[in-house]
Structure 1
Amino acid sequence: MFGISPLGWIHTLGSLPAIPVAVYMFARHGRIVPRSAAGAIYFLSMLIGAATVFLVARQPASKGIAVVTLALLLMGYGISRFPQLGRAAKYVETLSLTVTTFLLMLPTVTEILRRVPDGHPLVTDLKSPLLLGSQAGLLLLLLAGLTAQVAYLRKNAKANA
């Protein structure tokens, strides 16, 4: 179904929980919260998804996205171990984990448009206006989200000072 191999299904189903969990945390907290139950699910799901890309991806760009995703994921979840960074740690944590969500959604939207409906996908060319518009929309959401997060973090930093 949809031209996905059994290993591809493991990759897809393994990373799928990260999407609703990210939506939940963005709606509830305005960011990915690493030290929470939802944050643990997000981490595990993203780790499964990014690690299995190396086994299923055919495009070199996919592997590059996976490497960047893994690096940002580990940075976002590990930065709190460096208290000497002070307030900067919260910015690094928040922004790096937000970018991991973008890096999850970019190939997700691309693959959905290239596979659905089964046998007659909406997009057959990587330069399709629908695909490029969808990707541009994700980029705009990322930029708006990062801007809002920085503003929120600054506001909280001033209130706590």
Structure 2
Amino acid sequence: MFGLTNLGSLHTLIGLVALVAGALCFFRDGAISSRTRAGQLFVWTTLITCVSGFGIFQRGGFNVAHALGIATLAVLATAVWAERGAAPGRFSPYIATVAYSLAYFFHWIPGTTETFTRFPLGAPLFSSPEDPNLEKTVGVMFLLFVLGVAVQLWRLHARRQGGAERRLA
């Protein structure tokens, strides 16, 4: 299917589930958290997507996509670690928020690359993973990631400050 192996197709399908679960978390709850069903679905499907990606070598041997999978696993582990309160005290929620968002952003890089180097059929938007226009697109996605994280951190800080003010009154 679309030049994908069976493993590649399964990997893509699970990755799409992770993206939808992450989007649901952002739109419904304002952030990803493993304390929600959608957040748990995001964490598990991200984990499965990363691990299944290590068996895909369509573009040769170990490559940037595999390294991104390793980075995603590390970021995801950091998010879960911080969310469980293991990170330095009051910074735990902030670290978890940034790490979950970064894991979500990391999903979009191969998703965009693989999709738009294949589609539209016969005239893909990008000629290869090294296409300068793809690099610009990922740059715009990174700016959206930074903006999204800033909004999440601002909301988290405001919520935490509001709670602290109520406790002091």
User: TM-score under structure 1 normalisation?
Assistant: 0.91
How well do the aligned residues superpose, as a CA RMSD in angstroms?
1.7
Cα distance in 2 for partners of 1:107, 1:84 equals 29
Contact 2:21 2:42 (C-alpha < 8 Å) held by counterparts: yes
Pair 1:160–1:130, CA change in 2 (3 A) = same
Q: How far 1:86 sits from its partner (Å)?
A: 2.4
Count of residue correspondences: 161
Pair 1:49–1:84, CA change in 2 (3 A) = closer
Stretches of 4+ aligned residues off by more than 6 angstroms: none
Query: Gapped runs of 5+ residues in structure 1?
Result: none
Q: Which has the higher helix share?
A: 1
**Paired residue type of 1:135:** V
Higher relative contact order (CA 8 A, sep 6+): 1
1:8 maps to which residue?
8
Of 138, 157, 160, the match for 2:160: 157
Cα distance in 2 for partners of 1:33, 1:124 equals 36
2:63 maps to which residue?
60
Pair 1:84–1:105, CA change in 2 (3 A) = closer
User: TM-score under structure 2 normalisation?
Assistant: 0.87
Query: Gapped runs of 5+ residues in structure 2?
Result: 165-169
1:94 maps to which residue?
97
Secondary structure, aligned partner of 1:115: coil
Contact 1:2 1:116 (C-alpha < 8 Å) held by counterparts: no
Cα distance in 2 for partners of 1:114, 1:83 equals 40
* Structure (1 or 2) with the larger CA radius of gyration: 2
Of 95, 103, 106, the match for 1:103: 106
2:78 maps to which residue?
75
